[in-house]
Amino acid sequence: MKKFNFRKVLDGLTAASPVGSSGGGSGSGAGGSVHPGGTAGAAGTPREEIQETLTSDYFQICKTVRHGFPYLPTALAFDPVQKILAIGTRTGAIRILGRPGVDCYCQHESGAAVLQLQFLINEGALVSACADDALHLWNLRQKRPAILHSLKFNRERITYCHLPFQSKWLYVGTERGNTHIVNIESFILSGYVIMWNKAIELSTKTHPGPVVHLSDSPRDEGKLLIGYENGTIVFWDLRSKRADLRAYYDEAIHSVAWHHEGKQFMCSHSDGSLTLWNLKSPNRPFQTTIPHGKVQRDGKKPESCKPILKVEYKTCKNSEPFVVFSGGLSYDKPCRRPSLTIMHGKAITVLEMDHPIVDFLTLCETPYPNEFQEPYAVVVLLEKDLIVVDLTQTNFPIFENPYPIDIHESPVTCTEYFADCPPDLIPVLYSVGAKHKKQGYSNKEWPISGGAWNLGAQTYPEIIITGHADGSVKFWDASAITLQMLYKLKTSKVFEKQKVGEGKATAEIVEEDPFAVQMMYWCPESRIFCVAGVSAYVIVYRFSKHEVNTEIASLEVRLQSEVEDIITPEPETNPPFPDASSQLPSLKSLSGSTNTVACEGTMKDSIPCLSVKARPVRMPPGYQADLVIQLVWVDGEPPQQITSLAVNSAYGLVAFGNCNGLAVVDFMQKTVLLSMGTLDLYGSSDPYQRQPRSPRKSRQFAADNFCMRGLSNFYPDLTKRIRTSYQNHVNGHCTSPTSQSCSSGKRLSSADVSRANRRGPGRPPFRKAQSAACMEISLPVTTEENRENSFSRSRSSSVSSIDRDSKEAITALFFMESFARKNDSAVSSCLWVGTGLGMVIILSLNLPASDDLRHSEPVVVSPSGTVLTLKGAVLTFACLDCMGTLTHQPYEVWRDPHSADDGDKTRKRKLVMHSPSSSQDMGDHQFAVICSEKQAKVFSLPSQTCLYVHNITETSFLLRADVVTLCNSVCLACFCANGHIMTLSLPSLRPLLDMNYLPVTDMRIARTFCFTNEGQALYLSSPTEIQRLTYSQEMCDNLQDMLGDLFTPVETPEAQNRGFLKGLFGGSGQAFDREELFGEATAGKASRSLAQHIPGSGGIEGVRGAAGGVIGDLTRARIALDERGQKLGELDERTASMMASAEAFSKHAHEVMLKYKDKKWYQF
């Protein structure tokens, strides 16, 4: 039986009761239901019980797929037969890529950085070496790879690994200079060890350093080449356990590469040189070159260059060999970008990269090291990109990358996710986006083409939209758990370019990234798209398939809060808010920068932050700017950033708000309908007693230090402001943006309090521009008291009440056909406004009666007098009809604004006012769903009775809440700052799911988390990656069938016929018996203290993962057969051993019998 807290239940009942009184009459409350966790169905009962179909069995959370570029990459590997690529990262993650759609993410539990990756070529397995000196064997023959074995070294640090082709013995080099050998099948260390002091000459007095290279000779697999960091090279004979030859060079070695014949090898060194060695004369290299070194006139050795970190030496049958290396540039060109150099014969090509090179691999036609390699491409792993160079063409073009690895091309600042959107959108967006693709790519197919992928059962279209710091917006096709770029929109093109040095002298208020996208609103049905930027502007876009050349319409809006101009009177003793002008140093230090926007001569007024292009602008097909709305400076005060945004195509209106107030604009007539402070929206319905206060003493300081400082503190709404206390885990809980500031873990001086008071809850001290991907947790600290925002609390008792809340930000907006007033008998056009104090204000919209008058008659926006309350800042609204079905917002069916068939603008608009399911009869009442950062409420309209209330969290606060559809029903999905993901039924607000799943360790997660329909969600898991997850049990069950296969059965290519003479005189080139040499029988057992074997759970996880799909039984049977075969093999070995022992015993007994057969007893 579940226990629940009666105190929380009473709190919920108390919180619900004022709603009834404010609405003019509460419901009976007798029939309300009480739920565990502080849920109460309180003030009334619905007219008829709505049958809710969703239960907790419909919900389960699991991660689905990760998109984007692997964050902080460290290692690279390629399987030339399976044609799949693996990338390891500094965070212990591995990404395995194949053909488009085949993209797998797996993570080491330790989180240790991946040092090196090695494929077991065409075996469906991968070995990873990590910075915690552990080796792991991954099973890739299942859709979600798992670890089969681990081996943890205790006394030595791993520096390099090498696994020969078709070998089960892995060579492991260590920091001490020793080389160990690991059996890949059992992951047990062999007793065979190559000690550093045995490898080098006895006369050598210094340690050779760590092992930096290991490779077996292409000519003889019984010979191992060991490279040490100090320049020592040892050619070790594995059979005789001694060094065949030793070579020394006076520069440190970074890498070694063999010629395929096994007679020569090349080394790269720390002085930018390449040395070529011959096994017949190892005393010195027979060729030394510094490819990028300047040749001295007097014939001396060329100047040293930067280290060549890696070199690869690949031969071709019909042309000169390729030598590919990274680094080695001259020191006298410090500004040159990182480069990859390709030497082919006498031609040297330098490919400059945008980011530092982490690693590269040359892709060859054959996996056999003793054949002509025939290289055809080079995979280059950069710090923030992955490129593949085509070696088959003389100009070395790059391949067009099919993976979505450019998500972070400009840092992501916000995201939106739309599932089950209109099916015609993806082809349309792709067609306009394809016209802007870059040219000059290789015409060959993408070479990383391994694995298999199918669409699976999920067929509905999905679109992800990402906003970026440079003002660009990207639309992505996210259908069937893939991601593909559709269309890119550059919002900065509507503005004039900022001239160098101009911004701070005129009206620029953002140091960096003035065009950064802060919020987005998209109506897929009407294709209206709206963007709010960090520089306090809103752009409305319409979609057109035709190119136009036209001027951009713009409006300027004054949005000012009068409370800003008054402060609390200062008593003579112990003033709580001293005059700000006397605290200049502390104010500057709080802002994080001394670069201020001060008043120079005249006070700034009615100046926008950016300049819209005044000339006609060519707009290509796609999204075209219809209207730009900019907030302007008011009496020396900069405009505050936008905290809420909503657009409605049927009404032709866009609404946005900030901490000063609300603006409503008619984008059809290009007029401002409403620009009003939040307090004025209440009219006579203001529930708070706000006392008049004395005027500000030093008005001339109003603009100083109030400049906005970039992205590190801009938010889509106030609920996204996690404080420093979350990082410090005060009492183990998050601190809400509406909770007491003194618990934030950041002590404020009295001057700081005054500054924060004047700034208001929506005006943070802005720092240097950062993206959502790299936001700090140190966030704005406001001076609100611990306001639970319940209507019953007194607000006028002291300075610490509403007087300190100088501003009330607009945090949520929602256009809807609804009952604006209590006595309304029919629905009308409304705008629901939610504030940071938990207040909900309904505004009535009086639209022209006919569509013909829409462009000429004015739209009237007026307060309805209806005010509802919740705890905490309002996050989201939704509306259900009388049957409990989600009512969609009205919209205009899309039509091309520049269609050739539509010369005039008098064509009648086609409006859809209600959702199809409820278009027959809206009924005489509806349900309004309102969710704040603390609680959710369901009101019955027009009676305004609170039917259900659920206190979602007491100790934390919600970051995101969305009303979504799932399995033809509807629910409320919530993401809490304490990491919990919750779903509530609608309209009864029954808890269906509550799982502590995703700790908010970074502001990035809070900024980008969003839910969508069909049980899907996403967030930015790193600055470069999007993580998608599902909270639907059905999708969790079907996920196995939707994921791609990493391993597909492929025949290993046959080795070339070497010929009799080449085999006779060209070296053995044949395998030797490693089992006999490294096995326990010959080499003995390794020391137990050297390394610890840890069995993995790969087999079990593979069965569990496959159980959800069709092949579950087959997988279990296959693994059972493997285990049975292994046991039978062990049994055969034991039987053979017993038979040999019995035979030896029988033979010995027979010999004894023959010896003593003819002797008497006394002769013994």
Give the pLDDT confidence of 528-569 residue by residue, as tens digits: 999 999 999 999 999 999 999 999 999 999 987 654 433 333
Cβ contacts of 1108 within 8 Å, gap of 6 or more: 1036, 1037, 1038, 1039, 1040, 1041
E strand or H helix at 585, and its extent?
Answer: helix 584-591
- Across the range 1154-1161, mean pLDDT stands at 68
- Across the range 375-385, mean pLDDT stands at 96
Per the CB < 8 A criterion, the answer to whether 916 and 956 are in contact is no
Q: Is 280 exposed, middle or buried (0-12, 13-18, 19+ CB in 10 A)?
A: exposed
The single-letter code of the amino acid at 455 is: L
pLDDT at 1114 exceeding the cut of 80? no
Which pLDDT band, with edges at 50, 70 and 90, does 344 fall under? very high
- Check residue 41 and give its pLDDT: 46
Phi, psi of 1112 (to 5 degrees): -60, -50
- Check residue 505 and give its pLDDT: 41
CA–CA gap between residue 80 and residue 901 (Å, rounded): 55
Q: Tell how far CA 1057 is from the center of its chain.
A: 49
Among the listed residues 520, 355, 384, 426, the one whose alpha carbon sits nearest the alpha carbon of residue 68: 384
More confident: 122 or 1098: 122
What's the number of CA atoms in the CB half-sphere (13 Å) around residue 40?
20
Phi, psi of 849 (to 5 degrees): -65, -35
- Check residue 636 and give its pLDDT: 83
Read out DSSP for 104-148?
EEEE-TT-PPEEEEEEETTTTEEEEEETTSEEEEEE-SSSS-EEE
More confident: 781 or 817: 817
Read out DSSP for 587-637?
HHHHHT-S-----BSB---S-BSS-B--S-EEE-SEEEEEEEEEEB-BTTB
E strand or H helix at 758, and its extent?
Answer: helix 750-759
pLDDT at 200 exceeding the cut of 90? no
- Check residue 456 and give its pLDDT: 67
Neighbours of 973 (CB within 10 A): 27
Cβ contacts of 498 within 8 Å, gap of 6 or more: 508, 514, 610
Q: What percentage of the chain exceeds 90 in pLDDT?
A: 54
E strand or H helix at 427, and its extent?
Answer: helix 425-434
- Across the range 211-236, mean pLDDT stands at 93
Cβ contacts of 1079 within 8 Å, gap of 6 or more: 190
What value does the mean pLDDT of the chain take? 79
CA–CA gap between residue 1023 and residue 313 (Å, rounded): 35
pLDDT at 760 exceeding the cut of 80? no
- Across the range 231-238, mean pLDDT stands at 92
Q: pLDDT (tens digit, 9 = 90+) per residue, 1046-1058?
A: 999 999 998 887 6
Give just the sign of the alpha carbon dihedral 987, 989, 992, 998.
positive
DSSP 476: E
Which pLDDT band, with edges at 50, 70 and 90, does 233 fall under? very high
Give just the sign of the alpha carbon dihedral 597, 602, 608, 613.
negative
Give just the sign of the alpha carbon dihedral 872, 874, 875, 876.
positive
3-state secondary structure at position 973 = strand
Per the CB < 8 A criterion, the answer to whether 123 and 80 are in contact is no
Q: What percentage of the chain exceeds 70 in pLDDT?
A: 73
Which pLDDT band, with edges at 50, 70 and 90, does 823 fall under? confident
> What's the angle, vertex CA 123, arms to CA 118 and CA 126, rounded to 5?
30
What is the Cα gyration radius of the chain? 36
More confident: 1023 or 601: 1023
Q: Is 401 exposed, middle or buried (0-12, 13-18, 19+ CB in 10 A)?
A: middle
